[in-house]
Structures are given as structure tokens and as C-alpha cells.
RNA sequence: GCGGGCGUGGUGAAAUUGGUAAACACAAGGGACUUAAAAUCCCUCGGCCUUUCGGCCUUGUCGGUUCAAGUCCGACCGCCCGCACCA
């Protein structure tokens, strides 16, 4: 029985696409553009199934849109800076650049076997000076446009590795690699003013109609807008005031203390002559930031002895504490505590025996009977014990009290955001050098544009701790561009999220001498459809949204939102296996027989565990290259699309792969075994069509209609199901005669064109078998459904 | 704690705005072909009752709205995800 030769065909059609430059594009004002982009990979070494899923999804969209007549930009590149390259350098003594470039070569070769419709002429790697020099220029522009500043800030410091760690790299209060307890340290860092755009970024979310609600909500929460008031408390016996931030100014009459953060200037000042307070502040700074540490940490405070004067109650003063639960970088780093209506304040008040006065009563409750025990009352209610606020609801009381504070000149309405400015300095070698020179006389001096790029030195020493750039014998020593005296380069590099914040724009004109080619970005941006993992829901996707606005401010482009549509794909999962000693086993080491799992070689019993995201550590991985080798790219692609919707997790099973492979062969046989009698490409439509054939013809057009809609909505699994149904229908058409043959041909051509976005190599082979010698499916328009065949003769009505 | 999502056969799933639940597959069982196997093809495949015809039940649980509920509303149970001392 004829089998589809995937090896020969996949190679053949990939070469033809490449030779003809099928997927190379340029700006074309006469055609609608469509920019589809998958999140570019970090070149870790080899592609994994997550990549296969991501790029398959993108390729289906790209090929479908191309067939629909769009001018499709579909590029690929490499997010090439990052920590693993440095680890490899330390472990294997390979320079990061070399390691990275080798990985890129391997992964490019692997990706090319997938038959993806990329315009490879646009490929870029962020670790190349040709890319990051533009990033350095952008940073200088950000500096000019007041989007960057340098400040001392508290960072996660790993004392063993001598470097800053990102929050994500701190796991349960310890360095993710060294396991050392992470300390808080103050360090001079570069920051991008993302908070300037907090409101814009928040409002922009509403425009992102083609983003998943989940991601929009996560960004909204991350930005974390809150409305409240700043209140200035007079400090008894001092001239300065204590500014606090509150979202509950309505509860001011229930205030029983004030508290400031350990790093609040007031605390620092008072600690100068007070060793007990100094010790307390140190203790606060040592406190872990992990979830567990925060959950179990007791609310602790240190009475400074200062007393704050209550703004409304004559003669009432409030003790001012330094407290471990007050954060310096939110609001003003100081609060007033109203124990009756805030749980933390209540815990604190119970510990230090402070008054608990209820000022909000549940609606309908008798004011005199309101008692606070262990739980603060935080719901809406009516104000009590609050002078001019008594009887008001919470919302109205807030407004009324702020009006009064403003009249008195001691408070203002205020909006606060949880979002912090983006610290971009990293004490790392394998990143983009920050183009700054530190001069003893001139201070901070930007590297002049004509001196860009500041290139990373190739020869570096990775032995010992700390940043190799800092230890390099010559690299950092330069003359000050301003005064000419000996000075030093900034040895920090950018956070690697910097590169991924603008690569989508660089793809529009990757060879341009300018960072961005204005005509190209104006034509292609925004990205019409972006596809990637949900893990970037906040960081990368928020940074990119900010970056785009910053680039607009600097005159580089005119859009504000980089990604008009977003599809977040689910994870690729696989069952896990362990041997009797509890060691993880690769699926390829396990033989399954029903529910019985055994080791392939030893026959020893194997414990089958739950299905989880494929990960190297649990060994539940299947190598894409092995699958492509054994079944071909089309099989892998079809399987990825068949059973699960793209945003849901996908369970990788051998049986499912077999099923996809069987389908390809079925379609191959259906076409090749039918081509002889229906080979004429220009066969004319017969005048009469028998009823069996007509049913199939209707199915053809209904399928075209349904699949088109499914692909438009990314319901790939449904599209596959429809295509299989039509395959069954065409296969079931046993009639002969010109009408049946004509309909059969309609069916086979439609099937060929409709499977093309999913299994493009097979589609080209089928197209060729059907007699289309001169044309490629890749250049052929999507079939159109004839409305005449979409209506049923009978309609079923349920009563 | 706060916010969000999900729950349908043995499995992945489908069911357009409320309108024949389980399409399309996977797995399983049976059969055909074969010396045998692979491949392929055919049949069965949510549960209960029934020889057949057919009947009754079934979308986590309980209740509600409706001529009609997997879908809408309320409560509960379970699982998953995000954020978290944010004043």
C-alpha cells in the first residue's frame, strides 16, 4: 500500500519554498498587511515541544492569512542574551558568544525541518552588536527624553555570587543558584520610568480587545491603581510633617497609631542616635521576602517616642512606630493605623495594646453594639464615632473627609500604583553594555553616539565571583569623552527584557542603519497577532507596551500598542515516570503495556506519575527532532493542532502522534488512488449532479465555510475535526460518472488547500499529484465557499 | 487573604446567540484480509432496562429562571492559575 514519503517530500518542498523566496516580503501599499509573530526563543541548545507548538500555531495563522490575500510578515530571531550562556561558560569553559552562536545554528537547523513560513532574511540575534548598538542609542534617547534615571535602590543581593538577583530569581528567600540567603542591599541602578505611563498603560488595556481577558486582568492587577489620599500629620515637637498614604481616609477617627517603613527617612534619622532602633531596622531588612516568610512573620514595631497630632481631634496624639510590615516603596512609606477596619493594623494593635475604636458600623447594626474581636470590619457600612462623618456611607465619607483635609491644607486626593519603575541594571557579563562612562570630574557621561556600539569584550575570565566585566583588565578603562581624563565604563549590562521589548519593531527592517526604519514600522506595526506562553503575561508584555510608548515619545514610531492581538498557548505536558529508587525516567526508557509500566532495558517496574509540563528536571520530555525524524514535521504539526484548543494544555501521547500520521496517509491514499480518473485540472462542472454527489458537494462548501471561520478564531482543533469529516464524506462517495468525479475533485482540492496551513509539505505533494504542476499551494488562494451550497433543504426545528 | 478560570464518556474534546449532549479523534473489544504479522478495511463503544422494536437516565452537587439549561442565576464541593504585609 502506498505510503506517503515524508522524508523526501519535506526536504523537497522546503527547498522549493526557499529557492522561490515564497515567504520573503516587503512593504506593499496595495495589499493589506498582516504581521504574525511568535515569541522568539532563547537559544538554550535544542528546540523543545513548547517551541514546536508555538511555531506551529504561528505558522498556521501566517499561511492562512497569506492564502487569504494578506501581505504577511512572519519573522524569526533569537533572544540571545541571558544567564545560561554564562553558566555554560563557567561549566564548560566555552565563551558565551560561541556557545550561543552554536546553539542558534542547531536550533535554526531544527526549525527549518519544521517547514515554517518564515522570512529568514530577517533573522536577528540580540547578542550581536548590529542589534544591541541600536538599543544603546535608544537608551541615550531615553536619557535625553527624561525616561531614565539613576538612583540608589534596595535590591536582592546574593552574597555568594556577588550579584543582584531579579525577584524571580529569589526562591524562598534564597538565591536560585547558590542557595545563599538573599540580602537587601542598596545599590546605584538605572531605572526606566515605566510609572510615568502607569495610567496610560492601564487605560490602554481597554483597547486590547483581542487579548485574553486573563492577561488583561493580570496587567491591570500588576499596575494596581488605588485611589485615596495623602495626609500630613504634624509631629509633636518637630517642624516637619509625616506624610502618609491611605485608601481609607474615612476611618481617620479610628486611628490609633502611625507607622513608617524601616527605610523611611524618619526612621533612618532617628536610628542615628539609637542602637536599639538601628538593630530593629537591620532585623527588618533581613526579613525574607518569600511567601512563607511573609505569611508567618509577626507584625512587629518599634515605638520611636514621637507623637503625631490627630488632624481632627483636639488633644489626641498617635504614637509613631517603625513597623516591619510597612513598605518604603509604596505610597509614602508611612501609614496611619485604624485597627478596627484593617486586619494588619488590628494584629499590630493587639500586640502593642493600642486602642481599637470602630468607626464604621455594618448597615442596619446598632452603633453601640459594634464590637471588634479578632477580625477587622472592612466592608461598606455607615460611619460612627466620627464627628462630621457620622451617618455617611464609606464612599461619601471618603470624599467628605478629603474635602475637609484639602480645605485645611493638610491633605490631598491621591492615586497610587503598585507598579514600580523598571530597574534595568544587572551585574552580568552576557548582556548589552549600558553606554555610560563614569568620570571623577564630570560624573555620569553618556557614551557619544559616534562611539557606539559599546561592544562586549570577547576575552573574559569567568573564574571567581562577580561580574567579569568589572574584573576585565582593560575594557572598562576609557578616557572621559567630556574632559579627556581617565574614567571608567559602566560595567553593568541591561536586563535581558530590554532586548525583547523592541525586537518586533526591528523585524520590520532588520538591516536598517537606523534603530528603526520609520516607513517600515509605520507599514507593519502593530503586530496583528502575537503568540506565546502565558508566563510572559505581565513582564515582557508590559515592558513592550511601555517601550513602544517610550519609542513613540522619542520619535521612532507612531503606534502605542505593539500587539493588537495576543494568543497565549497552553503547555505541552507528558506523563512522568520514576523507577523504584525514585529517580525520574525518560518516556523513551519506559515500555507501557496497558496500565503496566516497565523499564525498557531492565524490565524493572516503573511508577507512572501524573502528567505535567514537559521539563528536563522531570525527564518527561520528547525530543522534537526524534519525532520529526520518525514521522515528519507535518505529523508533529497536525498532532499539535488536533485535539486541544491552543490556549489549553496539551497532553503529548504516542497514540495521538500515530493517529495524526495515519490521517496523513489516508489523505495521501485518497488523492493518489483517485487521481487517475480525475486528473484533468480544468474539468468542467457537469450540468446535473446526483444526490449522493450533491450531498458531498454541500459538505465541501460547508467545510470551507466552517474551517475558514475556525481558523479566523484560532479554533484549530475544530478545523481539523471538520476536515476529517469531509475526508470521511469524500471517501464515502463511491459513485462513478462525471458528476461524482467532478465533485470528488472539488473535495480533494478543497481538502488539499485546507490542510495546507497545518501540513504544508503534504499539501504541496497532494497539489502536485492533483496535476497542478506549475503552481504551489503556498502561492494559491484560500478556497471560497459558495453560498448556494450552504443552505439545507430541510430545517429541523425542536419543539 | 484578594482576583480569575475550570469541572461533559475509559481519554483528548465538540455542542454558533439557551434548541436532538457526546461531532472529530484516541484507547478498548469483536470481525475481514494474511501462513503469520504489520498496514488497511468493517462493526461495537456514556449508564440502566429490553431477545428485537424501543424505553428511561446522564454534562461536579443542590436549588432557581424558562416551553426548553452543558450553556443563564444562586449556594456548595473539587481542581487549576495569577497576585500578595500595596495601607
CA A379-A383-A384 angle, to 5 degrees, is 120
8 A C-beta contact, residue A82 and residue A40: no
Enter the DSSP assignment of A678.
T
* Helix, strand and coil percent figures for chain A, each rounded to 5: 40, 20, 40
Taking the C-alpha atoms of residue A507 and residue A511, their distance in angstroms, rounded to an integer, is 9
pLDDT of amino acid A594: 56
Give mean pLDDT, residues A759-763: 97
Give the pairing type, strands A584-585 and A183-192: unpaired
Report helix, strand or coil for A392.
coil
Give percent of chain A above pLDDT 90: 65
Round and report the angstrom distance from CA (A725) to C1' (B23).
9
Nucleotides on strand B lying under 7 Å from protein C-beta: 3-5, 11-16, 19-20, 23-27, 39-41, 67, 81-87
SS3 at position A226: strand
pLDDT for the residue A489: 96
Within A 757-796, residues with CB less than 7 Å from strand B: 796
In this structure, is the CB of residue A185 within 7 Å of any atom belonging to strand B? no
- pLDDT tens by residue, A497-552: 999 999 999 999 999 999 999 999 999 999 999 999 888 888 899 999 999 999 99
Among protein residues, the one whose C-alpha sits closest to the C1' atom of B25 is A643
Q: What is the CA radius of gyration of chain A?
A: 33
Whether A711 and A753 have beta carbons less than 8 Å apart is answered as no
Please give the DSSP secondary-structure letter assigned to residue A433: B
Measure A610 CA to B52 C1' (Å).
Answer: 45
Cis before A163? omega within 30: no
SS (H, E, C) A401-468: HHHHHHHHCCEEEEEEECCCCEECEECCCCCCECCEEEECCCEEEECCHHHCCCCCCCCCCCCCCCCH
The residue length of chain A stands at: 799
CA distances from A772 to A124, A183, A473, A677, A679 (A): 36, 68, 65, 15, 10
Closest residue (Cα, C1') to B82: A218
A216 touches strand B (CB under 7 A): no
Task: Read off the C-alpha cell for A695.
Answer: 450531498
**Cβ contact A224 with chain B strand, < 7 A:** yes
Q: What's the pLDDT at A485?
A: 95
Please, are residues A465 and A419 in contact by the beta-carbon 8 Å criterion?
no
Q: Which nucleotide is nearest to A224 (CA to C1')?
A: B86
As a rounded value in angstroms, the CA-to-C1' distance for A269 and B37 is 87
Give the H or E element holding residue A391: none
How far is it, in rounded angstroms, from Cα A636 to Cα A626? 10
Is the pLDDT confidence value at A241 over 90?
yes
Closest nucleotide relative to residue A593's CA, C1' based: B27
Eight-state DSSP code of residue A169: G
Half-sphere CA count of A482, side-chain side, radius 13 A: 14
Distance CA A451, CA A428 (A): 22
**Of residues A254, A532, A299, A608, the one with CA closest to residue A401:** A254
Output the average pLDDT for chain A. 89
Q: Which residues numbered 396-425 in chain A sit less than 7 A from strand B, measured from CB?
A: 416, 418
- Give the residue-averaged pLDDT of A55-80: 97
Residue A471 and residue A491 in contact, taking contact as beta carbons nearer than 8 Å: no
Q: Find which nucleotide's C1' atom is closest to A731's CA.
A: B41
Please check the confidence at residue A61 and state whether its pLDDT lies above 80.
yes
- The answer to whether A230 touches A414, Cβ cutoff 8 Å, is yes
Rounded Cα gap, residues A193 and A417, in angstroms: 13
C-alpha of A751 from chain center: 35
Report yes or no: A385 and A340 within 8 Å, Cβ to Cβ. Answer: no
Quickly give A325 CA vs B32 C1' distance in Å.
76
In window 81-100 of A, residues with CB < 7 A from nucleic chain B are: none
CB A532 within 8 A of CB A39: yes
Reported as type and span, the H/E element at residue A585 is: strand A584-585
Whether the CB-CB separation of A377 and A251 falls below 8 Å is answered with no
Give CA A285 to chain center in angstroms: 31
A580 CB contact with strand B at below 7 Å: no
- Does the CB of A342 sit below 7 A from strand B? yes
> Which residues 660 to 679 of A reach strand B, CB within 7 A?
662, 665-666
Between A298 and A721, the higher pLDDT residue: A721
Asked if strand B comes closer than 7 Å to A724 Cβ, the answer is: yes
Give the torsion sign (CA, A660, A662, A663, A667). Answer: positive
Q: What are the cell numbers at A479?
A: 578616557
Give me the pLDDT at residue A790, please.
79
Burial class of A676 by CB neighbour count within 10 A (0 to 12, 13 to 18, 19+)? exposed
| A542 CA to B10 C1' distance (Å) | 43
Protein CA at A52 to nucleotide C1' at B60, angstroms: 34
CA–C1' nearest nucleotide, residue A706: B16
Per-residue pLDDT at A595:
58
What is the spatial distance, in angstroms and rounded to an integer, between the CA atom of A604 and the C1' atom of B76? Answer: 46
A659 CB inside 7 Å of strand B: yes
Q: Is A62 exposed, middle or buried (0-12, 13-18, 19+ CB in 10 A)?
A: buried
Whole-angstrom CA distances from A24 to A74, A104, A111, A119 are 9, 21, 17, 5
Q: Which residue has the higher pLDDT, A288 or A72?
A: A72
Confidence of residue A295 (pLDDT cuts 50, 70, 90): low
Residues A416-452: b if buried by 16+ CB within 10 A, e if exposed: bbebebbbbbbbbbbbbbbbbbbbeeeeebbbeeeeb
- Which of A's residues 595-624 have CB atoms within 7 A of nucleic strand B? none
Nucleotide nearest to A653 (CA to C1'): B26
Single pTM value for the model: 0.93
Q: Is the CB of A576 under 7 A from strand B?
A: no
- Average the pLDDT over A281-301 and give the result: 69
In whole angstroms, B39 C1' to A61 CA is: 34
Rounded to the nearest 10 degrees, the angle between the axes of helix A738-755 and helix A760-769 is 150
Q: Tell me the nt nearest to A798, Cα to C1'.
A: B19
Distance, CA of A310 to CA of A308 (rounded, Å): 6
Range scoring the smallest mean pLDDT among A72-81, A357-366, A367-376, A765-774: A367-376
What average pLDDT does range A637-664 have in this prediction? 92
Q: Can you give the pLDDT at residue A799?
A: 37
pLDDT level of residue A797 (50, 70, 90 thresholds): very low
Give distance CA A666 / C1' B37 (Å): 21
pLDDT band at A796 (very low <50, low <70, confident <90, very high): very low
Please give the helix or strand (H or E) that residue A553 lies within, else none.
helix A539-553
CB burial string A124-162: b at 16+ within 10 A, e below: bbbbeeebbbbbbbbbbbbbeeebbeeeebebbbbeebe
Distance between CA atoms of A268 and A277, rounded to whole angstroms?
A: 9
Tell me the nt nearest to A324, Cα to C1'.
Answer: B85
Confidence band of A795 (pLDDT split at 50, 70, 90) = very low
Residue at the smallest CA–C1' distance to nucleotide B14: A718
pLDDT (tens digit, 9 = 90+) per residue, A359-404? 998 877 777 777 888 888 888 889 999 999 999 999 899 999 999 9
Q: Residue A777 and residue A67: Cα distance in Å, rounded?
A: 9
Pairing of β A183-192 and β A422-423: antiparallel
Distance CA A659, CA A676 (A): 27
Place of cell 492577561: A215
Rounded to whole angstroms, the distance from the CA of residue A326 to the C1' of nucleotide B74 is 39
Q: In this predicted model, which residue has the larger pLDDT, A374 or A5? A: A5
Degrees, nearest 5: CA angle A561-A564-A568: 115
The confidence score (pLDDT) of residue A190 equals: 93
The whole-number Å distance from A361's CA to B85's C1' is 25
pLDDT tens string A676-700: 545 566 677 888 888 888 889 999 9
pLDDT for residue A328 is more than 70:
yes
For residue A453, say if its preceding peptide bond is cis, omega within 30 degrees of 0: yes
Q: Is the pLDDT of residue A184 over 90?
A: no
In angstroms, the CA A278 to CA A301 distance is 13
**Which residue has 526606566 as its cell numbers?**
A192
Question: Which residue has cell 443552505?
Answer: A791
C-alpha grid cell, residue A262 = 524601616
pLDDT of amino acid A762? 97
Find the residue closest to B28 using CA and C1' atoms. A594
Whether any strand B atom is under 7 angstroms from the Cβ of A327: the reply reads yes
In this structure, what are the phi and psi dihedrals at residue A423, rounded to the nearest 5 degrees? -75, 120
Instruction: Determine whether A109 is exposed, middle or buried from the number of CB atoms within 10 Å of its CB (0-12, 13-18, 19+).
Output: exposed
Q: What dihedral do alpha carbons A11, A16, A22, A23 form, nearest 10°?
A: 20
Closest nucleotide to A248, Cα to C1': B87
Residue A325, CB, less than 7 Å from strand B?
A: yes
Q: Where are the beta strands (DSSP E) in A605-672?
A: 607-613, 650-651
For B67, which residue's CA is nearest its C1'?
A: A799
Question: What is the C-alpha separation between A639 and A653, in angstroms, rounded?
Answer: 9
pLDDT per residue over A546-574, tens digit each? Answer: 999 999 999 999 999 999 999 999 989 88
First to last CA, chain A: 50
Please state the separation of Cα A550 from the chain's center in Å: 19
A792 pLDDT tier (thresholds 50, 70, 90): low
Q: How far is the C-alpha of A180 from the C-alpha of A159, rounded, in Å?
A: 7
| Residue A563 to residue A546: CA distance in whole angstroms | 12
Q: Is the CB of A330 under 7 A from strand B?
A: yes
pLDDT(A788) > 60: yes
Nearest CA-CA partner of A781 in A754, A760, A746: A754
**Smallest CA–C1' separation from A420, nucleotide:** B86
Q: What is the pLDDT of residue A378?
A: 85
DSSP secondary-structure letter at A577? E
Strand B: which of residues 488-547 in chain A lie with Cβ below 7 A? 534, 537-538
Determine whether the distance from the CB of A285 to the nearest atom of strand B is below 7 Å: no
- CA A458 distance to own-chain centroid: 31
Identify the pLDDT of residue A690. Answer: 84
Taking the C-alpha atoms of residue A455 and residue A445, their distance in angstroms, rounded to an integer, is 17
Strand B within 7 A of A295 CB: yes
Per-residue pLDDT, A183: 77
Whole-number pLDDT of residue A289: 53
- Nearest nt by C1' to A299 Cα: B85
Percent of chain A with pLDDT over 70: 94
Amino acid at each position: 500500500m502506498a505510503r506517503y514519503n515524508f522524508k523526501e517530500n519535506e526536504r523537497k518542498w522546503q527547498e522549493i519554498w526557499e529557492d522561490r523566496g515564497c515567504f520573503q516580503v516587503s512593504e506593499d501599499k496595495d495589499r493589506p498587511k498582516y504581521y504574525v509573530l511568535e515569541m522568539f526563543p532563547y537559544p538554550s541548545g535544542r528546540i523543545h515541544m513548547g517551541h514546536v507548538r508555538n511555531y506551529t500555531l504561528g505558522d498556521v495563522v501566517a499561511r492562512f492569512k497569506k492564502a487569504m490575500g494578506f501581505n504577511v510578515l512572519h519573522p524569526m530571531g533569537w533572544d540571545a542574551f541571558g544567564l545560561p550562556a554564562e553558566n555554560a561558560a563557567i561549566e564548560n569553559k566555552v565563551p558565551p558568544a560561541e556557545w550561543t552562536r552554536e546553539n542558534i545554528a542547531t536550533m535554526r537547523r531544527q526549525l527549518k525541518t519544521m517547514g515554517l513560513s518564515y522570512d529568514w532574511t530577517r533573522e536577528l540575534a540580540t547578542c550581536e552588536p548590529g542589534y544591541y548598538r541600536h538599543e544603546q542609542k535608544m537608551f541615550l534617547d531615553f536619557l535625553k527624553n527624561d525616561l531614565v534615571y539613576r538612583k540608589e535602590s534596595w535590591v536582592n543581593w546574593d552574597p555568594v555570587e556577588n550579584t543582584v538577583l531579579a525577584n524571580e530569581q529569589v526562591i524562598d528567600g534564597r538565591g536560585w543558584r547558590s542557595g545563599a540567603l538573599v540580602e537587601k542591599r542598596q545599590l546605584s541602578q538605572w531605572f526606566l520610568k515605566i510609572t510615568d505611563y502607569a495610567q496610560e498603560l492601564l487605560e490602554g488595556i481597554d483597547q486590547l480587545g483581542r487579548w485574553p481577558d486573563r492577561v488583561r486582568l493580570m496587567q491591570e492587577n500588576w499596575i494596581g491603581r488605588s485611589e485615596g489620599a495623602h495626609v500630613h500629620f504634624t509631629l509633636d515637637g518637630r517642624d516637619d510633617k509625616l506624610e502618609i498614604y491611605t485608601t481609607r481616609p474615612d476611618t481617620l477617627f479610628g486611628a490609633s497609631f502611625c507607622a513608617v517603613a524601616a527605610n523611611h527617612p524618619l526612621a533612618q534619622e532617628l536610628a542615628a542616635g539609637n542602637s536599639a532602633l538601628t538593630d530593629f531596622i537591620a532585623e527588618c531588612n533581613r526579613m525574607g521576602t518569600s511567601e512563607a516568610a511573609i505569611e508567618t512573620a509577626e507584625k512587629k514595631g518599634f515605638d520611636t517616642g514621637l507623637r503625631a497630632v490627630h488632624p481632627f481631634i483636639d488633644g489626641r496624639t498617635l504614637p509613631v512606630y517603625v513597623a516591619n510590615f510597612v513598605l518604603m516603596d509604596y505610597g509614602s512609606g508611612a501609614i496611619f493605623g485604624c485597627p478596627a477596619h484593617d486586619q494588619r493594623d488590628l494584629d499590630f494593635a493587639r500586640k502593642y495594646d493600642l486602642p481599637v475604636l470602630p468607626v464604621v458600623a455594618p448597615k442596619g447594626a446598632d452603633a453601640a453594639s459594634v464590637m471588634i474581636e479578632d477580625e477587622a470590619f472592612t466592608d461598606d457600612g455607615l460611619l460612627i464615632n466620627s464627628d462630621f462623618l457620622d451617618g455617611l456611607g464609606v464612599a461619601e465619607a471618603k470624599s467628605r473627609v478629603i474635602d475637609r483635609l484639602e480645605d485645611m491644607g493638610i491633605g490631598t486626593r491621591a492615586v497610587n500604583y503598585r507598579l514600580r519603575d523598571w530597574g534595568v541594571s544587572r551585574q552580568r557579563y552576557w548582556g548589552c553594555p549600558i553606554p555610560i562612562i563614569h568620570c571623577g570630574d564630570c560624573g555620569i557621561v553618556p557614551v557619544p553616539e559616534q562611539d557606539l556600539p559599546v561592544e562586549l569584550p570577547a576575552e573574559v575570565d569567568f573564574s571567581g565571583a562577580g561580574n567579569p566585566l568589572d574584573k576585565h583588565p582593560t575594557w572598562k578603562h576609557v578616557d572621559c569623552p567630556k574632559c579627556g581624563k581617565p574614567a571608567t565604563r559602566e560595567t553593568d549590562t541591561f536586563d535581558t527584557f530590554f532586548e525583547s521589548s523592541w525586537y518586533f519593531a526591528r523585524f520590520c527592517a532588520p538591516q536598517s542603519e537606523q534603530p528603526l526604519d520609520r516607513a517600515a514600522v509605520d507599514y507593519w506595526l502593530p503586530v496583528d497577532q502575537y503568540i506565546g506562553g502565558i508566563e510572559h503575561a505581565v513582564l515582557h508584555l508590559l515592558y513592550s507596551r511601555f517601550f513602544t510608548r517610550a519609542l513613540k515619545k522619542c520619535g521612532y514610531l507612531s503606534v502605542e500598542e505593539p500587539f493588537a492581538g495576543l494568543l497565549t498557548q497552553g503547555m505541552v505536558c507528558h506523563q512522568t515516570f520514576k523507577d523504584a529508587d525514585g529517580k525520574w525516567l525518560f518516556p523513551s526508557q519506559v515500555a507501557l503495556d496497558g496500565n503496566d509500566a516497565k523499564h525498557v532495558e531492565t524490565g524493572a517496574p516503573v511508577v507512572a506519575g501524573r502528567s505535567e509540563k514537559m521539563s528536563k528536571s522531570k525527564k518527561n520530555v520528547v525530543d522534537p527532532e526524534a519525532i520529526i525524524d520518525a514521522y515528519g514535521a507535518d505529523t508533529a504539526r497536525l498532532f499539535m493542532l488536533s485535539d486541544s484548543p491552543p490556549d489549553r494544555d496539551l497532553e503529548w501521547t504516542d497514540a495521538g502522534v500515530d493517529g495524526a500520521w495515519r490521517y496523513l496517509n489516508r489523505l495521501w491514499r485518497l488523492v493518489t488512488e483517485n487521481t487517475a480518473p480525475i486528473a484533468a485540472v480544468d474539468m468542467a462542472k457537469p450540468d446535473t449532479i446526483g444526490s449522493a454527489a450533491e450531498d458531498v458537494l454541500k459538505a465541501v462548501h460547508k467545510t470551507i465555510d466552517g474551517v475558514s471561520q475556525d481558523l479566523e478564531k484560532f479554533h484549530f482543533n475544530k478545523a481539523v475535526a471538520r476536515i476529517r469529516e469531509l475526508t470521511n464524506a469524500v471517501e464515502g462517495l463511491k459513485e462513478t460518472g462525471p458528476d461524482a468525479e467532478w465533485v470528488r475533485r472539488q473535495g480533494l482540492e478543497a481538502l488539499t488547500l485546507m490542510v495546507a496551513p497545518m501540513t504544508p509539505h503534504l499539501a504541496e505533494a497532494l497539489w502536485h499529484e492533483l496535476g497542478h504542476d506549475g503552481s504551489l499551494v503556498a502561492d494559491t488562494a484560500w478556497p471560497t465557499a459558495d453560498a448556494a451550497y450552504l443552505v439545507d433543504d430541510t430545517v429541523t426545528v425542536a419543539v
